[in-house]
């Protein structure tokens, strides 16, 4: 399988270990983005919570800004323009007019403009068996729209389905994005170490296989200043479910060359996206219950 170079471009994932000081996180992220751009990547993705890993609601609210005033966003827009790349910032906390905060992903165009925004749909509110508790809805309000973005990394026409972290567990979202035309799926994350060890690889590969699309998942990794562990293992996965690039637990950049012609080849082999059928769910009663109803 393969295609002419017209369908190919180089991609990169930036893996981070963000802390509680935005300025320090920006220095780390910028250095790795520059490394990725100098390595030839024309689509670069960073993790969820690129500029701040903080769990205390008041400390989050005191540091995030409205989109038009966001220092992190301004820094990243300048970087996209400097290198002429598609820079996908996995997410930033952004304060809305009502004071509530969105966990927002930004796709930045090569001229530094904002090409697309996506607010995380699903909130991670959970008590884990190891005693860790997460209440994402304490800090953020969920989005209400799925987003499909058009982009041209390396001059290649692509369509990117934008999601974030916990969205990964909602398979219907990914099928809908693929049917709408996505040939690339973004899943920037800050997956916990506990759940990542159990589910990260299998869920990411499943999303790629189910959609027949490339999956790009930049993530946080390691022990953070707030005392929480994230799993790392940023990955780029082919439409056939092959892992093309994978990080470990430490901050780094990983690269993979992408051939979008492979998407159509894989979908032609297994055209599951066109074979879906409407159905109803029948709840079958045990035979003895059915007999009792008939007798009455």
Quote the pLDDT of residue 132. Answer: 74
Catalytic hit among 48, 54, 136, 193 = 48
**35 is a catalytic site residue:** no
CA dist., res. 74 & res. 67, Å (int): 9
Return averaged pLDDT per consecutive 10 residues of the chain, 296 residues in all: 73 98 97 98 98 89 94 98 98 88 97 98 84 80 96 98 97 98 98 95 98 98 94 98 98 98 98 96 81 63
CA dist., res. 156 & res. 149, Å (int): 14
Catalytic hit among 54, 95, 136, 165 = 165
Tokens of 214: 């490339």
**95 is a catalytic site residue:** no
DSSP state string for 82-117? HHT-EEEEEEEEEE-TTS-EEEEEEEE-TTS-EEEE
Quote the pLDDT of residue 287. Answer: 72
Pairing of strands 243-246, 147-151: unpaired
Catalytic hit among 54, 95, 120, 136 = 120
What residues are paired with 152 via a beta bridge?
Answer: none
H or E element, residue 256 = strand 252-259
Quote the pLDDT of residue 4. Answer: 54
Phi-psi region of 23 (alpha: psi -120 to 50; beta: other; left: phi over 0): alpha
**4 is a catalytic site residue:** no
What residues are paired with 216 via a beta bridge?
Answer: 186, 236
Q: What is the DSSP letter of 199?
A: I
Please count the other Cβ atoms lying within 10 Å of the Cβ belonging to residue 260.
21
Beta strands in 16-51 (DSSP E): 43-45
């Amino acid at each position: 399988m393969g295609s002419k170079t017209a369908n190919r471009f180089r991609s990169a994932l930036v893996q981070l270990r963000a802390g509680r000081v935005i300025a320090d996180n920006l220095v780390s992220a910028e250095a790795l983005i520059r490394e990725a751009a100098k390595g030839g990547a024309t689509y670069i993705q960073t993790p969820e919570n690129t500029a701040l890993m903080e769990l205390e609601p008041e400390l989050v609210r005191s540091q995030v800004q409205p989109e038009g005033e966001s220092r992190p966003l301004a820094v990243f827009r300048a970087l996209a323009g400097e290198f002429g790349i598609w820079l996908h910032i996995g997410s930033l906390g952004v304060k809305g007019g009502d004071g509530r905060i969105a966990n927002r992903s930004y796709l930045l165009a090569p001229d530094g403009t904002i090409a697309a925004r996506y607010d995380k749909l699903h909130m991670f509110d959970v008590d884990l068996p190891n005693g860790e508790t997460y209440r994402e809805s304490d800090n953020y309000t969920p989005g209400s729209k799925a987003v499909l973005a058009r982009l041209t990394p390396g001059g290649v026409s692509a369509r990117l389905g934008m999601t974030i972290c916990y969205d990964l567990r909602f398979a219907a979202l990914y099928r809908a994005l693929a049917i709408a035309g996505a040939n690339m799926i973004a899943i920037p994350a800050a997956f916990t170490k506990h759940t990542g060890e159990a589910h990260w690889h299998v869920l990411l590969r499943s999303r790629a296989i189910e959609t027949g699309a490339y999956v790009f998942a930049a993530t946080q990794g390691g022990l953070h200043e707030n005392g929480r562990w994230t799993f790392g293992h940023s990955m780029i996965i082919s439409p056939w479910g092959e892992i093309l690039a994978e990080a470990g637990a430490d901050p780094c950049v990983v690269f993979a060359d992408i051939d979008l012609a492979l998407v159509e080849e894989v979908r032609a082999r297994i055209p599951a996206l066109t074979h879906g059928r409407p159905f109803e769910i029948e709840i079958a009663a045990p035979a003895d219950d059915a007999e009792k109803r008939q007798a009455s």
